[in-house]
């Protein structure tokens, strides 16, 4: 029989930490799906490496959420024993890999955000979050550079690579607004100097993404209609499929270890 999901006491700090952890885990898992299938060996290594960084960040954040919650959950339980509706990640990071251009556009949108976010979080009054941020920002800076260079190659490459990159931008754009939102639970932590006010990063994010897009001869959509839901557990159909693979072992063989 399948293992039941855990219960999580989502106090503001636990919820806040889980949201960041889920972003990193889900995106890291998406990147790992490329392993052995990327267009070239170098990129296979790059995607797996970036996935590994994200997985490391997720582990630190889950471990901290478990410590704050103090209810016997741990990083593995958070990852393997929560159902779709308990996941708090952005809709952006759960979107399928699609073609290589789509994966790179998704990564660019996230890395440009994460880079600013972690740098801001280094000043958090919460010492553990500040330490995790200081570790993560070095990684996100490298990811951002890698994606930026690929965007130029794709956008300013062939007619087909340009078309694919532009389509990916147009399709994924509606998922970028959610990155800058905060609910009441988060608002209180922002006021306390613990959480980061992502809304304040939007201008800088847009500037970074615009510079890359312009260098890549790509256009950013004018539409400002944004899809939301991931932060409160309302996900696209894709996350359930992702979790069924990520969790199958622990759900089928409860407590299995190496």
Partner 1 sequence: MVIAMFDDAALQQHAFDVAANVVDPEIPVLTIADLGVLRDVTVDKGRVEVTITPTYSGCPAMNMITLEIELALEREGFRDAKVRTVLAPAWTTDWMSEEGRRKLAEYGIAPPKPASSRRGLFGKDQVDCPQCGSPDTEVLSEFGSTACKALWRCKTCREPFDYFKCH
38 lies in the site for partner 1, by CB under 8 A? no
Binds partner 1 (CB under 8 A): choice among 33, 98, 131, 226: 131
Pairwise CA distance, residues 248 & 234, whole Å: 21
188 lies in the site for partner 1, by CB under 8 A? no
**In this structure, are residues 101 and 161 in contact, taking their beta carbons and an 8 Å threshold?**
yes
- Residue 76 phi/psi, 5-degree rounding, is -65, -40
Cα atoms in the 13 Å half-sphere on the side-chain side of 162: 10
CB closer to partner 1 out of 91 and 121: 121
Binds partner 1 (CB under 8 A): choice among 7, 85, 145, 187: 145
174 lies in the site for partner 1, by CB under 8 A? no
Residues 193-232 that bind partner 1 (CB under 8 A): 208, 211-212, 215
If you search the block for the tokens 């959420």, which residue do you land on? 65
Pairwise CA distance, residues 257 & 35, whole Å: 23
35 lies in the site for partner 1, by CB under 8 A? no
Taking each helix axis from N to C end, the angle separating 127-155 and 41-69, rounded to the nearest 10 degrees, works out to 160
136 lies in the site for partner 1, by CB under 8 A? yes
Return residues touching partner 1 (CB under 8 A).
41-42, 45-46, 48-50, 52-57, 59-60, 127-128, 130-132, 134-136, 138-139, 141-142, 144-146, 148-149, 152, 208, 211-212, 215
């Amino acid at each position: 029989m399948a293992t039941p999901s855990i219960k999580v006491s989502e106090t503001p700090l636990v919820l806040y930490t889980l949201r960041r952890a889920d972003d990193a885990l889900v995106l890291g898992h998406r990147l790992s799906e490329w392993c052995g299938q990327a267009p070239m060996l170098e990129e296979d290594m790059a995607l797996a490496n970036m996935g590994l960084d994200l997985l490391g960040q997720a582990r630190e954040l889950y471990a901290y959420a478990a410590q704050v919650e103090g209810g016997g959950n741990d990083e593995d339980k958070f990852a393997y024993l929560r159902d779709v509706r308990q996941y708090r990640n952005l809709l952006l990071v759960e979107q399928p890999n699609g073609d290589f251009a789509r994966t790179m556009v998704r990564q660019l949108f996230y890395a440009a955000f994460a880079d600013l976010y972690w740098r801001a979080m280094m000043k958090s009054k919460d010492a553990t979050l500040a330490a995790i941020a200081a570790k993560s920002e070095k990684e996100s800076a490298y990811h951002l550079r890698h994606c930026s260079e690929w965007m130029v190659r794709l956008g300013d490459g062939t007619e087909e690579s340009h078309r694919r990159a532009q389509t990916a931008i147009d399709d994924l754009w509606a998922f970028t607004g959610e990155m800058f939102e905060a609910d009441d639970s988060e608002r209180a932590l922002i006021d306390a100097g613990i959480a980061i006010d992502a809304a304040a990063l939007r201008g800088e994010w847009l500037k970074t993404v615009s510079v890359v897009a312009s260098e890549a001869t790509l256009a950013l959509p004018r539409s400002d209609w944004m899809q939301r839901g991931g932060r409160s557990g309302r996900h696209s159909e894709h996350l359930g499929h992702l979790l069924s693979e990520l969790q199958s072992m622990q759900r089928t063989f409860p407590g299995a270890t190496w």
